[in-house]
Amino acid sequence: MEISVKGKNLDVGDALRTHATDNLINIVGKYFDHAIDATVVFSRDGGEFKADISVHPGPRGLVVQSAHHGNDAYGAFDGALDRVAKQLRRYKRRLSNHHQKARNDDNLLPAQQYVIQPETADEEPHEDQPPMIIAEMQTEIATLTVSEAVMRMDLADAPVVMFRNSASGGFNVVYRRPDGNIGWIDPANSSS
C-alpha cells in the first residue's frame, strides 16, 4: 500500500510520519491484504490540529475517509484512525463481498463532476451568466444496491451518493438528512 503523509502549512516530522504510516498499515492490513493507497493530511484549524485520512482499500471507486480534531497532531490522527478502523470493522463482510463483485462486474458509467464557486452575499445574482466552474474531475457512477450506496456514503463520510440502482436500472441518490437519517431518491418509484 502506498501511503502519503503531508502537512498543509505544517511541517510533518519523521516521528509523526512513521507513527501515521505504521498505524495505517496495521489497521488497513487487518481487513485488506492489497489496499491500493492511503493519504493523511495534517493541518492547523484554529488552535487545534486536524487529521484527514483517505484510504482506497481495493474495490474500484470505494473510498474510506475520516477527519478528526485534537489538541496535538498525534491525537487528531489517532481519532481519525479510530473512525477508519470502526468503519472497516463494521463493513468488513460487506466490503469483502463488494470487492469480489467489483472484480467480476465492472459496470461503471463514466461521468464528469464539477465544483461550482458559491455566490457571495455581496454579489448580485446574474441570471444571464452561468456560475463559475472552479474544478472539473472525472468520476464514475457505480451500479449498486441501495444498501451498498449507503455503505459507500458512510465510508466516504460523504453527504450524498449518486448511483445506478441494480434493481431498477435507474439513477438514484442517497443522502444524509439534517436530522441524521438517510434519504433516498428513486425516480422509478414516483407516482404520476
Of 79, 97, 115, the domain-final residue: 97
Is there a single domain that holds both residue 48 and residue 113?
A: no
**Residues whose CB falls within 8 Å of the CB of residue 69, separated by 6 or more in sequence, listed in order:** 45, 48, 49, 50, 76, 79
159-175: average pLDDT: 93
Residue 17: what pLDDT?
95
User: In terms of DSSP bridges, do strands 133-144 and 108-116 run parallel, antiparallel, or are they unpaired?
Assistant: antiparallel
The answer, yes or no, to whether residue 44 has pLDDT greater than 70, is yes
pLDDT computed for residue 103 by the predictor = 43
Residue 105 pLDDT level (bands cut at 50, 70, 90)? very low
- Whole-angstrom Cα distance, residue 11 to residue 189? 52
Lowest mean pLDDT among 97-106, 110-119, 137-146: 97-106
* pLDDT above 50: residue 124: yes
The three cell numbers locating residue 52: 484527514
Question: How much is the pTM?
Answer: 0.69
Residue 97 has which C-alpha cell? 463481498
Please report, for the domain that includes residue 179, its CATH number. 3.30.505.50
Same domain for 10 and 73? yes
Predicted confidence (pLDDT) at residue 48 exceeds the cutoff of 90: yes
Q: At which of 97, 121, 154 does a domain end?
A: 97
Domain count across the chain: 2
- Choose the final residue of a domain: 97, 122, 150: 97
Both 6 and 93 in one domain: the answer is yes
d(CA 75, CA 77): 5
Residues 21 and 90 grouped into a single domain: yes
> Which residue range(s) make up the domain with 175?
107-189
From the list 188, 133, 142, 137, the residue with the least C-alpha distance to 161 is 142
Residue 102 lies in a domain: no
Of the chain, the percentage scoring pLDDT greater than 90 comes to: 47
* Same domain, yes or no: 47 and 119: no
Report how far apart the first and last C-alpha atoms of the chain are (Å, whole number): 50
46 secondary structure, DSSP code: T
Residue type (1 letter), 91: Y
103: CB partners within 8 A, 6+ apart: none
Residue 55 belongs to a domain with what CATH number?
3.30.160.100
169 and 87 together in one domain: no
What is the band of 122 on the pLDDT scale with cuts at 50, 70, 90?
low
